[in-house]
Each structure stands twice: as structure tokens, then as C-alpha cells.
Amino acid sequence: MSNDAVYASGLLNRALDPATQPPEIRTFLQAEIELLDDIIADGMAVIDVGCGTGRHLAMLRHVLRIGVGVDYEHAYVVEAHRRTGGGRVHFVTADAARLPVRAGFDFATCLTNTWGTMSDKEGVLSEMRRCAPHAGTRLLSVFSDASIPARREWYSRFGHAVVNETPESLLTDGGLRSEHFTETRLRSLVGACTIRPLAGIAYAVTF
């Protein structure tokens, strides 16, 4: 089963249920929110790649000039529209490596290790660069290898026991493949970037 099929089964909603989240994961998710609060300024235009049900843009919608969320799973986009769509925030069903937007943005994000579940990582980076063309205006948050114990527990809690671990990924019995990264590997994939530790189990990568 591909990650596309896994997410179509509703995995994200279970993963975002606080009851499934070990303390380390809850701390990481809060750290992402605090990071966005520090970075996103009033009047910005922001595109969120792999937006899921739109929770980050929902949080930012009162300060944004415009927000666009893109996700390939249509059911999540429908839910994002239901929760926060309209006004200055919009959601689109599309491939993250072929974004259907031509406008420029002040900032582009791909958060919560979404990039670590994507197959065409280079294509996603290229599209983020196209949409937010200035260095330092693109943000990834990705898991480090220190996240492995917490992720094993988290995945098990939402019904995906880990059956294989490699130096770069975890694979669950439900077909979820989620990668983790070292700083060296991130620099080899992203190129010029700034990498900061995030919540002890992740990295914030600006490029």
C-alpha cells in the first residue's frame, strides 16, 4: 500500500487526535505552532504544501493577506474548506510536486514531516522555490532519528505498528512509510539551508 492510500484511509485524523500522541509528539506539534507564530507576519501570503485538514492556515488566517493550502487527498481538502475555507484562506486538491498556482508567496511551508512521506522530494522543493522565490522563505519541519521511539509509540496508538526500521525510515504494518533525517542527509537533499533542532526530535529547515 502506498502512502497515498494510507492517508486516504483517514490516518491523519487519527494521528492528530491528542489521545494517540505521546508527550514528545505533542511537544513537537506545539513547537511547530510557536515557530509559525514567530515567523509569519501580518499581511503575508503563505502557501502550505501538504496542508492536510488545514490546521496551520486556520491558526494563521486572521493575520494572512492570503493563505493557500494544497493536499493530494481530496477528503482532507474538503474538511479544510469546511473548517476554515473562504475569506483569505483557500484550499486546493493537487500534487505537491505540480502545484496549480502561479502567484508568488511571501512564505511556503511543508510541515509535520509531510515531506518525509512524499516520494518526489526534489519536485516538492522545486515547487516551493518557485512559489516563494527568495532564499529563507521556505520551511520544512522533519523528524530526526531521535524521534524513532516516540514515533513507534505514536504510530502504534493510531493502528500502525512498525514492522521495519532502516537508517532513513520506519514502515508500518498498515503501509505507512515515514522518513527521518540527519543534518548531513538534509543538506544533501535540500542544498543550501539553515537547520535548527526542533523539540528534541525534529529539525526546522529553512531554504
Q: Which helix (H) or strand (E) holds 202?
A: strand 202-206
Give the domain extent around 113: 3-206
For residue 2, the model assigns a pLDDT of: 66
Q: Is residue 39 a contact partner of residue 62, using CB atoms and an 8 Å limit?
A: no
- For the whole model, what pTM was predicted? 0.94
For residue 12, the model assigns a pLDDT of: 85
The amino acid sitting at 79 is E
Q: C-alpha 179: how far from its chain's center?
A: 12
The burial class, CB within 10 Å (0-12 / 13-18 / 19+), for 192 is exposed
φ/ψ bin of 136: left (φ > 0), alpha (ψ from -120 to 50), beta (otherwise): left
**Residue 41's domain is classified under what CATH number?**
3.40.50.150
Q: Is residue 156 a contact partner of residue 20, using CB atoms and an 8 Å limit?
A: no
Half-sphere exposure (CA, 13 Å, Cβ side) for 26?
7
Q: Higher-confidence residue: 72 or 1?
A: 72
Q: Please tell me the least confidently modeled range out of 7-21, 103-117, 159-173.
A: 7-21
State the alpha helices, DSSP H only, in the chain. 3-8, 11-15, 23-39, 55-60, 74-84, 121-131, 148-157, 183-190
In the structure grid, which three cell numbers stand for residue 179, read together?
A: 522518513
Average pLDDT over residues 116-136: 98
Q: What is the DSSP letter of 40?
A: P
Percentage of the chain modeled with pLDDT above 70: 95
Q: C-alpha 147: how far from its chain's center?
A: 15
The burial class, CB within 10 Å (0-12 / 13-18 / 19+), for 22 is middle
- Judged against a pLDDT cut of 80, whether residue 118 lies above it is answered with yes
Q: What is the DSSP letter of 41?
A: P
The number of distinct structural domains making up the chain is: 1
Average pLDDT over residues 59-75: 95
For residue 119, the model assigns a pLDDT of: 95
Q: Which position has the grid cell 510557536? A: 34
